[in-house]
Structure 1
Amino acid sequence: MIKTENVTFKYSNHEGSDFFALKGINIEVKEGEFIAVLGHNGSGKSTFAKHLNALLLPFEGAVYISGMDTRDEKNLWNIRQTAGMVFQNPDNQIVATIVEEDVAFGPENLGVDPKDIRKRVDEALLTVDMFEYRKHSPHLLSGGQKQRIAIAGILAMKPRCIILDEPTAMLDPSGRKEVIETIKKLNKEENITIVLITHYMDEAVNADRIYVMEEGQVVMQGTPKEVFSKVEEIKAIGLDVPQVTELAHMLIDEGINLPSDILTVEEMVVELCRLK
């Protein structure tokens, strides 16, 4: 679904000096996978996300979306239909005054038949559990509900992949939970490829694989268990691990015989019961 080959990207400032935000990124994402990209602010993860539907083009290297080279202008329309993008602030993606009209905006721009648009809008709203709000005004919704509407707007365009650039950064814990549950549902039930850019470690636990970025480079990769078991390495680059993993690490330091790759409360309960 996604392949990047030695992707390098630089920003230039007014003085003419360059800042390299990405340095030789090589990432592959298979169809139906759930990938999380982690890193603190300035690590390059949002710049990387914008390359995945050709909002940015590489200075060097190449990005392929379902085999289509993002540098080829003829591919742009198909790339953006294949890979939808959800941003941090849902208010920046909502354009209409009624929920169902907002979800219809994308398919209308694609020239989809009006009868099909009606079906797509209803299906998308049902998928994100917002169908009952279809006649509401978006500005009356909570942050989590708005973000689910933004996701529905992307879904109505029938993408095979959705890139989410810190979609929960501006939400409270309840809104974050709503959005993450929606993302998991899209991946497991609709087989949509997910690329989640986040700095919340607990969200990355749900992924099939994790890439950790630092200063424009991928410095760690693997399954959540493989990555988060390296507690000291994660902390050395200024990130945390999931709270349960941190607790397990502390208990291991106290001499308690626990696995180092515990990620969830449920896993911790099972291991503590085993010790008992």
Structure 2
Amino acid sequence: MTLVPFDDRDGWIWFDGQFVPWRDAKLHVLTHGLHYASGVFEGERAYSGHVFKLREHTERLFGSARILGFEIPYSMEEIDAACIETMRRNNLTEAYLRPIAYRGSEMLAVAAQQTTVHVAIAAWAWPNLFGADRMKGITLGMAKWRRPSPETAPAASKATGLYMIGTLSKHAAEAEGFNDALMLDWKGDVAEATGANAFFVFDGELHTPEPIGFLDGITRRTVMNLARQNQIKVVERRIGAEEISRASEVFLAGTAAEVTPVRRIADQHYTPGRITGTLVDEYASLVRMTPEEVLRRAA
């Protein structure tokens, strides 16, 4: 497969309030966000020209920035409009969007409160994270890195630095022949995959870890609501690593992964069943609705 580098593409990127040609959306090598991970981002998907739950993503972007101690210099309405226009400028209706906000290059030290906060938004065509064959179920290795305690890292934010151990864990899993990795938290309980939340079926009920040391995903909450609407009991709780072996179904949920069945975790094997199939179908239907239809369904 030939890779198309992300810095050498046609198109437009919204960058600090204006559209610039894709290849010109650059930052300096001494940018604080690069050296100290003082950045936050969102991952969003558009279906049939509509960004799914756009305002929820924008609200989380602003909330993440505040957790990291800076304010985004635009209104939520401006960011929403910029996301939509970025898609339009790039002639996309099915798209993945990546808004990011980060500290600039005025200061390069641990303390950098006088830096300018920059914001950029890109959009491109990106199918499901796990590809066209994902419905047969993906495989997960067990990560050696653990999600940190919320007392040691800003776990409630979608901060760039929190993904470092995800990258390390996924690289290690891929080297062992797996698609992704399942991460435990600092206590040794189940947390999530490297970029998506995890769900388990026990005795006909849907169980998922409480989001204490990792992000409470927008797709996660959406799937939980869909399950309840389909009379599937949802349980949020501590899930011990030793419980993985007795689950009957497992799947991941996230913007990039959407709802993806899991057929194997380490040496444990699973068969996607009724609950997984129902939620795959329900989610695929929901994201194709207009924003107005989504709101009416949630009412």
The two structures have a TM-score, normalised by structure 1, of 0.25
Bigger RCO of structures 1 and 2 (CA < 8 A, at least 6 apart): 1
More strand by share: 2
Task: Flag the structure with higher helix content.
Answer: 1
TM-score (norm. length: structure 2):
0.24
